[in-house]
Amino acid sequence: MHCVVLSPGPHPPFLVTPKMENAVANKTFPAAADNKKSDKETCVATGQPQSSTIDRCDYGAEIENLDRLFQLILNEIDDDDDDERDTIVCFASDHGEMLGDHGDSGKTFPWQGSASVPMICKGPGIREGGVVERPVATLDLAATFLDYAKAQKPKGMTSTSLRSILENDDDSNYRKFVSSGLQSVAFNESLPQNSNKGYAWRMVVCVLI
């Protein structure tokens, strides 16, 4: 069985409850990168529900809350011996948040804060404590789950299994590069330079061999 658990956050407007706010109270977040107008931010608890458009403390509060909710799911799996023996769990995000880096917010440019996202997997056969330094693509989770389920990929599917990387740190059969992109109009529509219609970028990250 394949189960997907989704969350709408962290995403503006950040809806932060007093309990979530208390989780990051007195924690200090670093200043945004390449932004002279940004300074480090120490979180305080007001005790009142609040909403903001962009705020490092509110973003951190939603991350802490997601961690708490995700732990509840892991606890259910770990409490069931059958589930623990045959369940692969992967945690990932579709994109990051600039949070003021380079004076920007959201995901409109391929900077580290926007394009680099977490991907953590656990389960039978996966190396405990293993760290993968090379870039991988979240789209390859589909083929990974099919691989573990001993199922065939549909014809034409370009997703590539991460299983050998997760288990043996072997990327010999994996992609030599990963690519990403974002465009505010249809991908078959080109945007002229200095267009006011929106944003468009492509990024390729190569693996040095």
What pLDDT shows up at residue 35? 93
Return the beta strands (E) in 118-176 as ranges.
Answer: 119-122
SS3 for 204? strand
What pLDDT shows up at residue 68? 93
**Which positions ≥6 away from 69 have C-beta within 8 Å?**
7
Distances (CA, A) of 138 to 143, 180, 196: 10, 10, 30
What pLDDT shows up at residue 47? 79
pLDDT (tens digit per residue) in 16-65: 888 998 999 999 999 999 999 989 989 988 877 766 656 888 899 999 99
- Tell me the pLDDT of the chain averaged across its residues: 87
What pLDDT shows up at residue 53? 59
What pLDDT shows up at residue 198? 64
What pLDDT shows up at residue 51? 66
What pLDDT shows up at residue 128? 93
Identify the residue whose tokens are 């120490």: 42
Q: Kindly indicate the confidence band of residue 190, based on its pLDDT and cuts at 50, 70 and 90.
A: low
